[in-house]
């Protein structure tokens, strides 16, 4: 999957700057790896849904869109969402380095938690084990 994302940081209410500078990012998301017949399901990534992402900042989303269309590609869908990032720094050592992202999409909220090691640390500090993961 290829995604063109335009990020517009929310300006602070006391900011006197005109508008926050937008950032355009092209992301390539690898398909979720399917286990081989010899490998039990989930062995490679454990209890996590992991997709490798490769990102690069680009100068102009419109030009990139025209390039993709020139290659015969069509947009699968477009949506606007608001992402909020939560960091666990300062709350005990709870999953030190854990990043939780809530993406308020029109269809349903999407949660991204990363990295995996920080997820495991946070779960353990809250009294959970991998057996409790859904």
Task: Please name every residue paired with 47 in a beta bridge, in sequence order, or none if there are none.
Answer: none
Domain range summary for the chain, segments of one domain joined by +: 1-78, 79-134
Q: What is the DSSP string of 36-84?
A: PTTS-TTTTTTT-----EEEEEES-HHHHHHHHHHTT---S-----EEE
pLDDT of residue 57: 95
- Residue 112 near residue 103, CB atoms below 8 Å: yes
In order along its 134 residues, the chain shows pLDDT tens digits of: 898 988 888 766 555 555 678 889 999 988 876 655 555 544 445 677 778 889 999 999 999 999 999 999 998 888 887 887 777 665 555 666 788 888 887 778 888 888 888 888 888 888 888 888 87
Pairwise CA distance, residues 91 & 105, whole Å: 27
Task: Please name every residue paired with 29 in a beta bridge, in sequence order, or none if there are none.
Answer: 53
Pairwise CA distance, residues 44 & 10, whole Å: 38
- Residue 30 near residue 46, CB atoms below 8 Å: no
């Amino acid at each position: 999957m290829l995604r063109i994302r335009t990020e517009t940081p929310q300006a602070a209410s006391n900011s006197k700057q005109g508008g926050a500078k937008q950032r355009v990012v092209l992301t390539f998301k690898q398909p979720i790896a399917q286990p081989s017949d010899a490998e039990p399901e989930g062995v490679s990534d454990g209890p996590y849904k992991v997709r490798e992402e490769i990102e690069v900042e680009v100068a102009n989303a419109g030009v990139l869109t025209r390039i993709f269309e020139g290659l015969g590609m069509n947009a699968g869908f477009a949506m606007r969402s608001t992402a909020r990032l939560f960091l666990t720094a300062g709350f005990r050592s709870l999953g030190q380095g854990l990043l939780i992202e809530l993406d308020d999409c029109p269809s349903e909220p999407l949660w991204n938690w990363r990295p995996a090691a920080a997820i495991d640390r946070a779960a353990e500090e809250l009294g959970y084990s991998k057996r409790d993961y859904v």
